[in-house]
Amino acid sequence: MKNFAWIWFVGCAAWLASGLIALRQHAFQHAQLSILVAMVFLAAGFFYRRQQR
């Protein structure tokens, strides 16, 4: 799983982009949810990156 931790970071970037687009369109609830999901993806990426084989 350590070799595939980058997938979580890509997901984080995608959710963050979605949140920024929603924020620009004044959809604040969608933006807040997207940023929270991005933080979960970021935490998962750090968790899987830290694991040993």
CB-CB contact of 45 with 9 (8 Å):
yes
Cα–Cα distances in angstroms (integers) from residue 1 to residues 17, 30, 36, in the given order? 25, 30, 23
The tens digit of pLDDT for each residue in 25-52 reads 999 999 999 999 999 999 999 998 877 6
Sorting pLDDT into bands at 50, 70 and 90, what band is 1?
Answer: low
- What pLDDT score was predicted for residue 2? 64
Q: Is the pLDDT of residue 3 over 80?
A: no
For residues 16-28, average pLDDT: 97
Could you tell me where the DSSP H helices lie in the chain?
6-24, 28-50
CB-CB contact of 41 with 4 (8 Å):
no
